[in-house]
Amino acid sequence: MNAAEPEPLITPTSDYPTWLALYDVGFSLIPLKPRDKTPLTGWRAYQKRRAARSDIEAWFKAAPNANIGIVTGAISGLVVLDLDSADAITEAERLGLPDTIMVRTGKGRHIYFRHPGYKTTNRAGFLPGMDIRGDGGYIVGPGSIHPSGALYAWENPPGQITLAEMPEWLVKALGTEPAAKVAPHKVRQKSRASSAGHKQNKTDFDPSGIEPTTACNVDDGLARILDELLGKPTDKTAREWRYRSKGSLSVRVDSIKPGQWYDHEAGRGGGLVALIAYILSCDHASARDWVAERIGAWPKAAPTQTAVEPSQEELALKARLEAQRILAEAKPAPANHPYLIAKGVQPHGILIDAAARLVIGLRDIDGTIHTLQRIDAQGKKRFLTGGIKADHFAVIGEWTPDTSHLLVCEGWATGASIHEATGDPVVVAFDAGNLIRVARVLRRRHRNIELTIVADNDAKADRADNPGVEAATQAAQDNDARLAVPDCAGDANDLVQAKGLDALRDVISAAVWVGAKEPTYPEPEHDVAGARAQLAEHIAAFMAEASAYQKALQIRLQEGKTSDAPWPIPPILGLPVDVGLGKTSQVRDQVIATLRSGCLGKGRVVFAVPRHDLGEEQVEAFKAAGINALLWKGRSAPDPTPEDPDQRMCRDLAAQADALIAEQAVEQTACAVSRDGKDYKCPHFEVCGYQRQKRRAAYAQVIICAHDSLFHAMPQIIGRPALLVIDEGFWQAGLRGTDSPVQITIDSLDPSEKELRCYDGKGQYDYPETQFLITYRLKLWEVLQSTKSGPLRYADLKATGLTPQNCRDAASLERMRLRNPGLLPGMGPKERARKLSKVIPAEGVCWTPPGRAAAMWRILADALDERRDAWGVEIGRMHTEEGTVRTLDLYWHASLRKGWVAATPVLHIDATMRGELVQPYLPGITVAPPVRAQTPHVRIRQVLNAPVSAKALTPMPQAKEREHTTAANNQRALRTYLTSRAAEVGTDGQTILAIGQMRALEALSTEALTANLETAHFNALSGLDRWGRIAGMVIMGRTLPAPAVIAKLQIALTGRPPKEDNDNQSWWYPLTERVIRRPQGRSRMVMGEHHPDPIAEAIRWSICEAELVQALGRGRGVNRTAESPLQVDLLTDIVLPITADEVIDWADLVPSRTDMMAARGVVLDNAADRAKCFPDLWPNYEAARKDGQRTGTNCYYRIFYNSEMSRSSVAVTYRPEGSGQKMRSAMFNLDLIPDPAAWLAGWLGPLADCEVVTDADLAA
């Protein structure tokens, strides 16, 4: 182990078999939150008892993505040394680490030791970078994912090595070694005195220390031990008992070699104690203790010293070399071999050795042979001793890079029959257990290939389980594969021999996707043309309703007030429409047609849009169709001129501000007014942009305005609209107190304040009204004094005698506190300030603006009306220069002003509309079914567990150093991934768009990105339409607001907080099952955040998922064709209403260090040069050398050497100056490094030789 050694590519394995494997080792397990270290359940009880298998199964089903926690201490017989950094690893190695179980934690290591038998408590930082986890602690287990995205993975797994004792230096450093150790487990032991004179009966079990000659009686000791250890045997003879579904584990039970065993799958064997150690994954001494507990005596010591058994690694190496030698010497098998004749299959390239045994090599995914299987004439099968079968397989048929379909099965003869039936290549896994592992290996390397798992049907009349079908089903579920099961007992070869090849072909053609769950979002029913037709129907139907309403309204108006006929109700429709279907243009076209027909009467059509720049686009589109349209702007909106680009609509914003402070109408106090026969006018009136637009509005047929205008009084010049169209979501525009605090100091509500006065319309003191307001404030004051924090409670408000009407009256009275200061248009700043000083208290005086106080009373009125707490009026604190003061923090939503929506048909169109969020503003709205379209020319890759969160990429400055180091590694990996996708997808320089959070993109852009990679952050996407022809998109994460933020938004929107979830003890969202939609009826289940309150969930979704949907729409996927496809990479765990063609874990894509080097424009073959030129990747030569021994990269390296994708890459040979220097080779990307020689010299020093290798040189 080397502290500087680069991290290998590791794939997460946190699945149910991982849980069971750790459980079978003997560890006490607990579930942890996904990508977190926090327990999902109370775990103290599991320090004293281990969870049952049923508990583990329940945990896994509830949270399949949960991290695995291992409880340390005596319960697990485990103490773990946590090395937190490279320096800590180096120091521990210097002090001395024995060979023991070890887990790689990304940046550090977990070193597992046997519990010493005395209490070992947790210690943090007992040496720099070193923690100890013992009694009362737990660790994150292998297969888990760190919050940073790093993987906990075995480095020395239990099957390859046993737990070691804590080294002496560690015991001394902890200072916990007692005078006498207490054995952690009680063992029944006969004394030597009692056993010395005892004559052993023939039936007594004597487990000899020399394991191959252990003597025992089948009917007594050995039988009991085997039953407890292995369960019921699948087959019994007088010589041996066999276990597992196919009897692959045999144990001798005769008197010659009792307890001798051999695992034909793993190629391992030995004596009885070795069997116990193997099954329980413990060391030799613990296995002997296990025996002693059950027979009441210690096994006898070996009379002579036995030879040291070779390690598993040594056996595996020996088997690998032996297999390669045997296969090299073997010859093609003849078709008349007895086994082939018996199975009725052809040889298909199988070999035969000198003993006439068929030999089949087992290879890994890269083609390296690791072991082999021999099959003799009678069909007996044997693997090489020590050879590793796990993850390795054989291939029948031709498997090329163009292969689109692979079939996977257990046995070779089964595979031969499948190949003969289909002609497709077949992968042979050799047994049910390895079937799952091989399928996983294939899927991780070949993500786009179609896999079909062909099961062995192990059905038997005398048992309920079916191991072959169960394993194949699991393999298919876990690896996105189809499942084919023979319709009779036996394997595919048995089926062929019984019914012929056609029967097998039928079974395979009927293969199905298994375990597919109903996707969270169903597949759209319509193609793009059908969806647009559906959209047109909805709009036309609404326009017809709006026209009918206007006619009915005109008739009712003519009838007058004397009529008892009901007034017609205007239609209000919400229409969710996919991004890119042209919802805005379709509405605009039908509005134009309706205006020309005159069906809407004389009123204007109002279009409300999110921003003015989008409104300007609408104005131009209407003008192009011959419709007079105007963009209405507020006084503070930009009105640039060539002379003054920063000019605003109002030329005197200070006068407007003073009018708002006095809560007076701006038009009469700052623009123009006639008083007492005299006209007052702003000196800028004639050039004012705001006034200029009023003159143009008088002739406009269509008014375009911003969403925010709907929450302010409608200008009189616009008149009652005939139709209001609200384009895009507007619900957040009406919230108050959520973005910036709206506060009232409690002291300012003191009813005894002498400044508390109401005035009439003439500015005269109104004593009666003042007394009413004082009375209401006195009642409120009682509540404010009794409530220390939080919202004002309904019971407290009710107890004071306040009624809803009282509160509404108080709101009106608060408005009377402010006298009209007499501001007039044309007044200068000093005159206005003088007049304001007479009605506005001086700075420092405790005073609440009347409008804010009125809002508070209205919130209280609603709470009393609905008999609930006033959650929108919450007692808080504000820090001032004089100290901390108590405040009321207000949260509410403004109403759409009646001038815009009263008696007006409203059409609201939005891609991500949620009815729950619109109804508080438009109570009568009907939300139509969403209009969604299929996007066959968009290919989506969803990458799970990618390190794209703010913490993973841009931790706060005060974060720990290791978090910053992890973030730098994540940035490097993501930068490489982006560069690789730009090269792979953006061929011929086509643009790739990367979308992410602003800080993340800034961090990724610290180094130059490839020229065809454009970046944009989420908040800069709305309305932009310039990416409709890009080749691909990479969308990275999305901010997910905390539940507390969602709660404040819901309080502002509805006046109520979210419903409490009593089952969730965490401050974060509970997790729920969500299902990604896959092609051809497939799906992928993931766990995702979900708020149990439906309105809070709608808010959370609108901020999180909806923004991702909007980002996806920037590529205009619905407009793509076969000639202009779009590739989208979603680096998020969030489930969206899309079909994901690929679902991949980041660990299967994370770039290697070679990839990262290649992404910077060069691949150096020499390890020493790699370390010199890229010290951030390889800190020294040894690290570069070891990393070079590993095979496999995931992205840019392969693209770099693909001339079709990287036409600017060239090969270069070079030799640095100096004696003994040899020629080296490298590949350069000339787009990134135009001058390879200068680059090499800059890093390595002067060069003795350097030249670009041409195609002619390569041919020679």
- CATH number of the structural domain spanning residue 459: 3.40.1360.10
Distance of CA 781 to the CA centre of its chain: 49
- Same-domain status, 875 and 902: no
Residue 830 placed within a domain:
no
Residue 73's CATH number = 3.30.2250
Q: Which residues in the chain come in under a pLDDT of 50? A: 1-14, 179-219, 296-306, 1203-1205, 1255-1260
Residue 1197, pLDDT score: 56
Q: Is the residue at 671 inside a domain?
A: yes
At a CB cut-off of 8 Å and minimum separation 6, what does 912 contact? 576, 729, 1102, 1105, 1106, 1109, 1110
The pair of structure tokens assigned to 450 is: 């179609």
Q: Are 112 and 103 in contact (CB under 8 A)?
A: yes
Q: Are residues 545 and 425 in the same domain?
A: no
In the numeric block, the tokens 């908040």 are attached to 1019
What is residue 1207's predicted lDDT score, i.e. its pLDDT?
58
User: Which residues lie closer than 8 Å to 317 by C-beta, 6 or more apart?
Assistant: none
* Residue that is last in its domain, among 927, 945, 975: 927
Q: Which two tokens stand for residue 1125?
A: 């496809």
Closest CA to 906 of 571, 624, 595, 1219: 571
| Residue 906, φ and ψ in degrees, nearest 5 | -125, 130
Same domain, 211 and 162: no
1229, amino acid identity: N
Residue 585 lies in a domain: yes
Burial of 747 (0-12, 13-18, 19+ CB in 10 A): middle
Tell me, what's the pLDDT at 498? Answer: 94
Distances (CA, A) of 898 to 660, 705, 713, 734, 1054: 21, 16, 8, 14, 19
Spatial distance between the Cα atoms of 414 and 504, rounded to a whole number of angstroms: 11
Pick the last residue of a domain from 515, 546, 571: 515
> What's residue 295's pLDDT?
58
76 assigned to some structural domain: yes
Same domain, 880 and 911: no
State the pLDDT at residue 207.
36
C-alpha closest to that of 496 among 346, 341, 343, 348 = 343
From CA 1149, how far away is CA 445, in angstroms rounded? Answer: 10
Cβ pair 471, 446 in contact under 8 A = no
Residue 581 identity (one-letter amino acid):
L
Check whether residue 57 and residue 110 sit in a common domain. Answer: yes
Is 1150 a member of any domain?
no
Query: Which three-class secondary structure state does DSSP give residue 254?
Result: coil
DSSP string, 376-415: -TT--EEEPTT---TT-BEEES---TT--EEEEESSHHHH
Return the amino acid letter for 928. Answer: A
The mean of the pLDDT values for the chain is: 86
Residue 693 domain flag: yes
Closest CA to 1133 of 1194, 1195, 1071: 1071
The reported pLDDT for the residue numbered 426 is 97
d(CA 940, CA 917): 29
As a three-state string, the secondary structure of 1046-1067 is HHHHHHHHHCCCCCCCCCCCCC
- Of 174, 204, 227, the residue at which a domain comes to its end is 174
Q: Whole-prediction pTM value? A: 0.70
634 shares a domain with 542: yes
What six digits make up the tokens of 37? 């270290």
CB neighbour list of residue 930: distance below 8 Å, 6 or more residues apart: 576, 577, 578
State whether 202 and 278 are in the same domain: yes
Instruction: Please state the φ and ψ torsions of residue 294, each to the nearest 5 degrees.
Output: -95, -20
Phi-psi region of 826 (alpha: psi -120 to 50; beta: other; left: phi over 0): left
Q: Report if residue 389 sits inside a domain.
A: no
Q: Are strands 28-32 and 123-127 parallel, antiparallel or unpaired?
A: unpaired
Torsions phi, psi of 919, nearest 5?
Answer: -60, -35
134 with 65, same domain: the answer is: yes
Total residues found in the chain within this entry: 1260
d(CA 1061, CA 1065): 8
Does 907 lie in the same domain as 768? no
Whether 494 is covered by a domain: the verdict is yes
Tokens of 735: 């919230």
The radius of gyration of the chain's CA atoms, rounded to the nearest angstrom, is 39
Same-domain pairing of 618 and 717:
yes
CATH code of the domain containing 572: 3.40.50.300
Determine the pLDDT at residue 154. 82
Which among 940, 932, 910, 1167 has a CA at the least distance from the CA of 1022?
910
Count of structural domains within the chain:
6
Look at residues 891, 578, 828 and name the one whose alpha carbon lies nearest to residue 683: 828
Measured CA angle at 467 (ends 462, 470), to 5 deg: 125
712 in the same domain as 855:
no
Scan for tokens 């040594």, then name that residue. 314
Res 292: pLDDT: 66
Q: Residue 469 and residue 491: Cα distance in Å, rounded?
A: 10
End-to-end CA separation in angstroms for the chain: 43
Q: CATH number, domain at 223?
A: 3.90.580
CB 198 within 8 A of CB 192: no
Q: Do residues 592 and 617 both lie within one domain? A: yes
Q: 31 phi and psi, to 5 degrees? A: -85, 140
What are 1163's strand-pairing partners? 1227
**Domain range for residue 702?**
528-732+898-927
